[in-house]
A and B are shown apart, each in its own frame.
Chain A
């Protein structure tokens, strides 16, 4: 079985600070695999282990400055995929899921697949669309919120973890499934896996090879931090009985 596990390379959210003009300072933030995609990578590797002769290709699409980062590339490959396919281009900075999905669809057709796995959303935009758009663009069944996958020949039996119910669905393959963070616990790569990662093949796919021409239905106008509310900042320094009583008096004012 040919499995593609998709992952996005995103800025480390703990490193993001806010500039004076309310824009986000992203250029000094480190890069990492989007948290939710670790589950897609792990699910791919786990499923491949149950299906003899399977391969897992990790696929990442994005601005060259992110996708060319060798440390993150190695991190992706150390999670167990056999190879990595990259579509990286300057033109892809700040694109929305509609465009990402088109590029991924082109790349996936080129790579060939029986099953494509995505995370439930990206850590930056968290639009929770890309996997669903991808499946629909490829004309195959596409299901989100998948908490369990079992392969039976040419069908995947999946459990969808919805708000009020668990739905069990038999999905003919090929298909695109977006998995939840509860589907597995991503393993921390072993030293052996990290060493092996640098020997694994990386395939660069150009936008032209992915058959992509830009025609976005929506574009980002701005990304700005919200205004901070004015706060009273009445702070008592010390925890003597009197100070705790004064603090309690402050709280009582609000509660009543």
Chain B
């Protein structure tokens, strides 16, 4: 695989920068980081392996996305084939799209695979994870947001030094004004990172019965997840917990389905798990085509039994 002559990186979230710089180091010859912040932030980008760091002073009342023209000017100015790598956060996506238009560059979000030859080919999930799409990029510059987990994060090494430069803020022609910001309680759960997930489906007759699943989850140390109807139809659990198309895509060691029928739209979210276990009273439920271990039985009998046996 050949390498991109230069890759520009930016992350609105500090904890995503190591992964993005790792991706840039793997895919590019030179890595140039954009930082909106302090000299310390610039040193951090350098310690991760960026060869050049442009630091932009934070502007009052300006959305981070409105740095797009400033970043684009530097990318366009490099005069080479180039790639821009960003995190798939909301701000990352907004920056990607805007820089894409400004640079006449192809944009692809949540990219899971990047291949560089004469042109760049990227892979990403489509149809809510039912399939993987492969896209061929023909523009000389491309802007990608990297799916989480695509690259092993780079480790900081304070002995690494970068060429430090001052970035100039180029305001967009029309600029919205930030008038307020309130931190919010992040969702307490991130199922993508859970090692064990116990997933409840429509097999439960009522919300109170989920206690049976909670008890078992506690015993085996699993996070609770659910199928889409449980979150969206019944509203028994928050949306962050539903697994499948346009929901969570698991990378768990163990996925344990209880009362889940196993439609393909759900299973695409579960198939990334190493081991799949299921309880369902319906012998013909599609879930049994996808399991390692299953039991055809009444969950109201099986769950309490398992909970006491596995204690």
Q: Write the residues of chain A forming the contact surface with B, with a CB cutoff of 8 angstroms.
A: 13-14, 16-18, 22, 24, 35, 96-98, 123-129, 132-133, 136-137, 139-145, 157, 160, 162-172, 175, 216-226, 228-229, 231-239, 241, 243-245, 247-248, 250-252, 254-255
Contact = CB atoms under 8 A, between A and B. Distances in A.
A233 B297 contact: no
Interface residues of B, number: 82
A251 B38 CA distance: 51
B251 to A, nearest CB: 13
Contacts of B174: 139-141, 172
Contacts of A165: 181-184
A28 to B, nearest CB: 15
Contacts of A97: 107
A244 B182 contact: no
Given A165-B184, A167-B63, A218-B108, A126 B309 contact: no
B283 interface: yes
Q: Which of B89, B105, B181, B186 has the most CB of A within 10 A?
A: B181
Interface of B: 13, 63, 65, 89-91, 93-94, 96-98, 100-102, 104-109, 121, 124-128, 130-139, 142, 172-184, 186, 220, 245-246, 254, 256, 263-265, 268, 271, 275-277, 283, 288-298, 301-302, 305-306, 309-310
21 contacts: A16-B127, A22-B131, A96-B106, A98-B100, A98-B107, A126-B246, A132-B97, A144-B94, A167-B181, A169-B178, A175-B176, A217-B142, A218-B136, A218-B138, A218-B139, A231-B291, A233-B294, A234-B294, A239-B295, A254-B277, A255-B220
A236 B292 CA distance: 11
Nearest to A231: B292
Contact of B297 (A223, A243, A250): A243
Contact of A133 (B65, B97, B138): B97
Chain B contact surface mostly:
mixed
Given A244-B302, A244-B306, A136 B220 contact: no
Contact of A24 (B90, B130, B135): B130
A88 B211 CA distance: 51
Given A231-B292, A255-B254, A16 B109 contact: no
A179 B181 CA distance: 18
Contacts of B293: 232, 234-235, 247, 250-251, 254
